[in-house]
Homo-oligomer: A and B are copies of this chain.
Amino acid sequence: MTAFIAVDWGSTSFRAWSIRAGGQVLAESRSAEGMLHCAGSATGFAPVLQAHLAHLAAPADTPVLICGMAGARQGWIEAPYATLPAPVAALAGAAVRVPAEQTEGRDVRILPGLAQQIESDVMRGEETQLLGLALAGHQGLACMPGTHCKWALLQNGQVAGFRSYLTGELFDLLSRHSILRHAMPESLRIAPDDPAFLAALDLALADPAALFGALFGIRAAELLGTRSKGESAARLSGLLIGAEVGCQLRAAEGQAVVLVGQAGLGALYAAALHRAGLSFTPADAEEATRAGLIAAAREIWGTAQCKQ
């Protein structure tokens, strides 16, 4: 029997699971109706959630716990950032309830994002994943590749600090919208064992700042015929990922590293970590998100609700 519905509502994707009291997944419903879709349409957020709840055949009194961009200022209901350090109890306690008139009376709550004040940084959604990882016993650094890649320090079951990198967005901007676009092939898929990717990784890992002086050269080399378009894309990716990992090397010293994987991008980061001499444990992003949502749901609705 369903104890609650767990939802990961990101910028571009929606994922919901009905969860039993023991934490097992009963059913799943996913779509591309992310925050950007809902905020930009006349439909809005409520009908999207209702449709997925219907698809999951969720009883009318089953509560829903949401993490991610649905809680952003431009999302459904703003769930103001919680601040560091953030144990499960702090996140759960800061969850914001969606007004009942928008939920047909159902108890629907959105977990806050996480803000770091000293070195300004924010996240929405990853904090729940990180709690899931912490609860699974991970300690040390978590590397979370993506448009805005994040490196977080897990200590004593909570997030102690983190830093975001624009790496994914920079690759997109440079490969599609800068002068370098003239040197890019149609397919921007990079193989993690591409020699041009690996050579660029090594260059940037050894000296992250070398990236600056190497970017324009990508266009020049293609223009002068000394590098193919496929090699140019691999070089750009290797320079950017290598610079990011290179910047984190000092922080990674003596720490266990967990790589929160995504299909293609995860393999590129795995190659970078390997090249940097960092051993790491892979982790599944969705599993971590669900574990974080389950822990927070127990905190909010108590063991009775989640063990009925």
A residues in contact (CB < 8 Å) with B: 81, 115-117, 119-122, 148, 163-167, 169-170, 173-174, 177-180, 207-210, 212-213, 215-217, 219-221, 223-224, 226-227, 243-244, 246-247
Known A173-B177, A177-B177; contact A216-B166, beta-carbon cutoff 8 A: yes
Q: Other than the known A165-B213, A165-B216, A207-B209, what 13 A-B pairs have Cβ atoms closer than 8 Å? A: A115-B224, A120-B221, A121-B216, A121-B217, A121-B220, A122-B224, A166-B174, A166-B179, A169-B179, A173-B178, A209-B209, A209-B246, A212-B243
Name A226's closest neighbour in chain B (CB-CB): B120
Q: Which residues of B contact A115 (CB under 8 A)?
A: 220, 224
User: Contact check: which of B165, B178, B224 meets A215 at CB < 8 Å?
Assistant: B165
9 CB-based A-B contacts, threshold 8 Å: A122-B219, A122-B223, A164-B220, A165-B213, A173-B174, A173-B177, A207-B209, A209-B246, A212-B243
| B227 contacts A120, C-beta separation under 8 Å | yes
Q: Which residues of B contact A224 (CB under 8 A)?
A: 81, 115, 117, 120, 122
User: Contact check: which of B209, B217, B223 meets A243 at CB < 8 Å?
Assistant: B209
CA distance A207 to B156 in the complex (A): 31
Name A215's closest neighbour in chain B (CB-CB): B166
Name A251's closest neighbour in chain B (CB-CB): B213
Q: Which residues of B contact A164 (CB under 8 A)?
A: 216-217, 220
| A117 contacts B226, C-beta separation under 8 Å | yes
Known A173-B173, A243-B212; contact A217-B178, beta-carbon cutoff 8 A: no
| B212 contacts A165, C-beta separation under 8 Å | yes
CA distance A152 to B120 in the complex (A): 37
CA distance A180 to B219 in the complex (A): 25
Q: Which residues of B contact A216 (CB under 8 A)?
A: 121, 148, 163-166
CA distance A178 to B210 in the complex (A): 22
Q: Which residues of B contact A210 (CB under 8 A)?
A: 247
CA distance A223 to B216 in the complex (A): 32
User: Contact check: which of B166, B213, B220 meets A122 at CB < 8 Å?
Assistant: B220
Smallest distance from the beta carbon of A239 to chain B beta carbons, Å? 11
Q: Which residues of B contact A180 (CB under 8 A)?
A: 166
Name A81's closest neighbour in chain B (CB-CB): B224
| B165 contacts A247, C-beta separation under 8 Å | no
Smallest distance from the beta carbon of A167 to chain B beta carbons, Å? 8
